[in-house]
Structure 1
Amino acid sequence: MYVDFQTIKAADWEVPLAGLLDLEDPKSKLANLKDRLEPISIYFYLIKHPKHGTYMIDSGVGESFTKGKDQVPVSSLVASQMNFDKLKIYETTKSFLEKNKIQLKGIFFTHLHLDHVMGASELDRNIPFYVGPSEMDHSQFINVFVQGSTNRLLGENPNLLQLDFGDVNSGSFVFDFFGDQSFFILSVPGHTQGSLAFFIPSKDGGHLVLGDTCHTRFGWLENIIPGTFTTDPKLNRKSLDTLRGIATYQKTKYIYPGHQERIISKE
C-alpha cells in the first residue's frame, strides 16, 4: 500500500549560514564558505492515507505572520533576532487546509523549533501533535529564550503525544506508524533530542524527509552536518550517517532537506 505524498512551500526566508551548516567542516572550508544570510524555505508535507486519512509533517506558517513583523506572535526579543523582515509567505496552513477541504487527523513534528511550529496555534486543539522521544523536555531546546514563543505558537493546551520507539537500549529507531509499511517514522536525535525524519515508500523509489538533521542541499550532497542551530553535533553526525545509509539501501529517489529544495537521486 502507498500513501499520497505532497510538498507545500509555505514561505521563503533568510537565516545565518553558520546555523545551517558546519563551516568548520573541511568541505565547507574547501568551498570557501563564510557566514552570511542564506536563502531557505519553510515547508510542510501532506500524507494522505487511503484508510486512515490525512496527516501533516510540520505545521507551516500561520495567518498571524502575514500581519507584519510587529504583529508576529512571538516575543519582541525573539522577533528582533529572527529576520522576520526577510520572511515572504506564499501559503498559510489554515488557508491551505480550508480551501482544499482537508480534515487533519494529526501532525508529525520533525522537532519543536520555532520555524516548524509557526502554523500550530491556528489548528484544531483536538488534533494530535506527534513528537519524538524527549522532544518535550524543555532543557533540550537549543536556546531557552525562545521557549515562551514556542509555547505560544503551539497554542493553548496542545494535544502533544510523544512517540514511543521502545527500549532506548534496543537500538530501535524505526516506527511503522500505520502498520502497513506505507509510512515510516525515524528517530534521529542530534539536532534536537527528539528529532524525527520520515521515509515514505513509493513506486518510483520513495521519499526521505530529513527534517533539520540536514537543513541544506549542500549539506546533504557534501555530507556536512548543520552548524550552531544543532544541539548535539556528534549525535547529529550519527543520525545523518544513518539517513544516508537508508537513502542508499532503499534506493530513495527524492531527498528533502529541512529548508531547501528536494534532491533527486541519480541512483
Structure 2
Amino acid sequence: MVFKRFEFVSLCILGFVLSCQVTSHNVKPYISDKTSATLPTSIKPNKYVEFQVVKVADWEASLDGLLDLDDPKAKAVGLKDRAEPISIYFYLVKHPKFGTYMIDSGMGKNFPKGEDGKSLVSSIVESQMHFDKLKVYESTKTYLQNNQIDIKGIFFTHLHLDHTLGAYEIDRAVPFYVGPGEVTDKQFINLFVQGSTDRLLGKNPNLVQFGFGKNTKEISVFDFFGDQSFFVISVPGHTPGSLAFYIPAKGGAHLVLGDTCHTQWGWKEGVIPGKFTSDPKLNRKSLDFLKEVAETHEIQFVYPGHQDRISTPLKK
C-alpha cells in the first residue's frame, strides 16, 4: 500500500514537472482593468459591426468528446459514443472605424501540409484527428484575398488545433488574441500537441494574451472597441483561456460560444462537452453564464463551436 501510494505521488509529480504550455512561442500581455463580471443589461452601441460566418469544412468527431455522456440528460435519451458530424468555421467582425477582425482562423490551403510540403501536425496527432473525414470548402487565405479583406487581428476562442488550422497563412504582423492563461497555463496534454500548435501558428506569431485580473478562472467581460459594439467574454473551462463573444445587432445579438458548447443539442439541453474539456466544473460555470446571457439579452442567433447556428425567439 505504501509503495502504491509512493508510485501514485511520483507519477503526479512527474506529470506536473513534464507539463508545458500549449505553444512555445513568445506571448505578449494585454492588460485591461476595464472589465466587468457581467454583460451590461442595457447595450447601446455607437455603431454596429457587421458580422459574418464562413463555413470552411465538414468533419466528424467522437460524441463522447463533444458531450458529457454521463450527464443525466444524455443518459435519459440514451446517447452513446459515435462519430458525430461537425463543421469548422471562422467569423468576420467588420467594424466601421477599426477594420475587420476574425474569430478563429479557418483552414490553410494545403492543410495538413505546409508550404514546404511537410506535415504541420505530428504523426501522433494526425492519427487521432481522422483527416480522411475532412471535407474542405474554403481556405482562409484564398477567401481573404478573393474578398480583398485586410485582417487587423484574430481572436482565438482557444488554441485547440482545430481552431488554429489557418493561422500559419496569416501575415505575421496580425495580432493573435488569446484568453487569460491560454498560453501561460501548463497542462500535461500539451507535451503531445505543443509542436503541432507551434507549426500551425506559424513562425514568430504576434501572440497576445488578455489579462483580465489576477484570477484567470473568473468569468470576465471586456468591451474591446470601447463602444459596446463587440464584447469579449472570458469563459474558462474548456481550456484555461477559452473565449466567447457577444456582438450586438439591430435585429438581435449574435452569441458565439466557442467550444464552451460544441453542439446544438448541448446548448439546448445545457450539457457541457465531454473528454475534450480540461476542467468540467469551470466549463459548467461558463456554460451557465452564457445561458444566462441568452435569457437576459435579445439574442438572434447562438453559434455552437462546431455546428450550425441556433435561432433564438426574440423576447416581446
8 Å contact from structure 2 (residues 217, 240) kept in 1: no
Match of 1:126, as an amino acid? A
What one-letter code is carried by the residue in structure 2 that aligns with 1:132?
G
Q: Is the 8 A contact 1:190 1:235 kept in 2?
A: yes
* 1:21 corresponds to: 67
For structure 1, which segment, 106-115 or 146-155, has the greater mean C-alpha deviation from structure 2 after superposition?
A: 146-155
Given the alignment, which residue of 244, 249, 255 partners 1:202? 249
Structure whose CA Rg is larger: 2
Unaligned runs of 5+ in 1: none
Aligned partner of residue 163 in structure 1, secondary structure: strand
Is the 2:218–2:236 Cα contact (8 Å) retained in structure 1? no
Specify the alignment match of 1:244 in structure 2.
Answer: 291
- Equivalence for 2:145: 98
In 2, Cα distance between equivalents of 1:87 and 1:169:
34
Partner of residue 198, structure 2: 151
TM-score normalised over the length of structure 1: 0.95
Do residues 55 (structure 1) and 114 (structure 2) align? no
CA 1:214–1:169 in structure 2 vs 1: closer, same or farther (change >3 Å)?
Answer: closer
Corresponding position of 1:85: 132
Offset at residue 144 of structure 1 (A): 3.1
Asked whether the equivalents of residues 141 and 192 of structure 1 are also in contact (C-alpha less than 8 Å), the reply is no
Q: Deviations over 1:95-126 (max 9, x none)?
A: 00000001100000000000000000111000
| Higher relative contact order, structure no. (Cα contacts within 8 Å, ≥ 6 residues apart) | 2
Aligned pairs for 1:73-152 (under 5 A) are 73-137=120-184, 139-140=186-187, 142-152=189-199
Query: Size of the alignment, in residue pairs?
Result: 266
Aligned identity (percent) is 66
How many angstroms does 1:229 deviate by? 0.2
Tell me, in whole angstroms, the C-alpha distance in 2 between the residues paired with 1:9 and 1:169. Answer: 31
Specify the SS of the correspondent of 1:198: strand
Q: Structure 1 CA distance, aligned partners of 2:185 and 2:176? A: 16
Cα distance in 2 for residues equivalent to 1:122 and 1:102:
14
SS at the partner of 1:46?
A: strand
Question: SS where residue 234 of structure 1 aligns?
Answer: helix
One of 52, 55, 58 as aligned partner of 1:6: 52
Aligned residue for 1:42, secondary structure, equals strand
Q: Cα distance 1:71–1:82, how it changes in 2: closer, same or farther (>3 A)? A: farther
Shift in CA distance, 124/228, structure 1 to aligned 2, threshold 3 Å: same
Q: Does 1:41 align with 2:81?
A: no
Aligned ranges 1:175-190 → 2 under 5 Å: 175-190=222-237
Residue 188 (structure 1) shift: 0.1
AA of the residue aligned to 2:136: I
Aligned 8 A contact 2:113 2:120 in 1: no
User: What CA deviation, in whole Å up to 9, does each residue of 1:54-97 have, x standing for no partner?
Assistant: 000000000121769x9642111111110000000000000000
One-letter amino acid of the counterpart of residue 266, structure 2: G
CA contact (8 A) 2:58 2:87 kept: yes
Taking the aligned partners of 2:89 and 2:216, their CA distance within structure 1 comes to: 33
Deviation at 1:251, TM superposition (A): 2.1
What does 1:210-249 correspond to in 2, within 5 Å?
210-249=257-296
- Give the whole-Å Cα distance in 2 for the aligned partners of 1:140 and 1:32: 32
Quote the offset at 1:253 in angstroms. 1.5
Distance 1:109 1:78 in 2: 20
| CA deviation after TM superposition for structure 1 residue 233, in Å | 0.0
1 CA distance for matches of 2:235 and 2:200? 24
Residues in 1 aligned to 2:187 and 2:153: alpha-carbon distance in whole angstroms: 24
**TM-score for the superposition, normalised by structure 2:** 0.81
